[in-house]
A and B are shown apart, each in its own frame.
Chain A
Amino acid sequence: MEQPVVINIERDFSKYPAGRYTPDGPFSGEQFREEHLIPALNNQSGRVVVELDGARGYGSSFLEEAFGGLVRKGFDAVQLLSRLELQSTDASLVEEIREYIQESARAK
């Protein structure tokens, strides 16, 4: 069985993720999606584990662009929801991310 890819946002990206687009700052949702999520999803067909704990905080604009943006980039929402394993002690973050994926699909 394929080993899941694990992305720990604090370790692999930044303790201070913020902003929607690249011009908003060095650790935007757009950048996280392009540099981490998309390569992880494209490089293998199994699960991608995203560990959310440890970062200072998450703005909804970051989350929406990073995860909702995957659907706008062509990823299938149902497959995303199945492949992405979101891990956080903050259940509201996981729920919010899943909402953005579903909303992006409805908006298409």
Chain B
Amino acid sequence: MAEPCDGNWGQVATWVLVLLGWGAVHVLSLSRERRKERRETATRLVQELLEIEQDAVAFHLSATYDAEAADRLLWRTGRAIRAIQRQPLSQLCVPTRTLTALRRSITISNMDRSSYKQQAPGSALLQGIRHATDALVEQMEAARDRRYA
């Protein structure tokens, strides 16, 4: 005579496996979603950096000093740099030196009314801004692709 519990144990085992499988899929899905969100956050920040570069170039190319544009540049640059140092982007471990290089390239010279001179296209200052932005963007994109592939 068959043990009345044999079929029950089989069903229990099946349900346990189903639940474990569901749990694993759920955890993996959440992990994948989180990675995707962080990847998108990094991509948005890269876009912001490219816009800051454009604004910085436009500011330094302008025929006249624009105090509002200077203030906005300072704010946007600082905001982006702080965001890179906070979660989740701090996981990308961008070296601080790369961040200071960006701020410095944009705001150490030709940023103040007393010293402002319209820059020529391709000037050393503008090249410095492009170089610093490129370096930061490349580091962020490489770290993003490594971490959130």
The interface of chain A, by Cβ under 8 A from chain B, is 16, 18-21, 23-25, 56-61, 64, 89-92, 95-96, 99
Contact = CB atoms under 8 A, between A and B. Distances in A.
A63 B115 CA distance: 16
B96 interface: yes
13 contacts: A18-B71, A20-B115, A56-B71, A58-B103, A59-B107, A60-B103, A89-B85, A90-B78, A90-B82, A92-B81, A92-B96, A92-B99, A92-B103
B77 interface: yes
A57 B78 CA distance: 6
Given A96-B103, A96-B104, A57 B112 contact: no
* Most central of B77, B82, B106, B112 by chain A CB within 10 Å: B112
A99 B85 CA distance: 19
B107 A23 contact: no
Nearest to B86: A89
A21 B114 contact: yes
Contact of B114 (A20, A58, A90): A20
Interface residues of B, number: 25
Given A92-B100, A95-B100, A57 B74 contact: yes
Interface of B: 70-71, 74-75, 77-79, 81-82, 85, 96-97, 99-100, 103-104, 106-109, 111-115
A24 B71 CA distance: 12
B108 A60 contact: yes
Given A56-B74, A58-B78, A91 B113 contact: no
Contacts of B75: 56-57
A64 B108 contact: yes
Contacts of B107: 59-61
B54 to A, nearest CB: 18
Contact of A89 (B82, B109, B114): B82
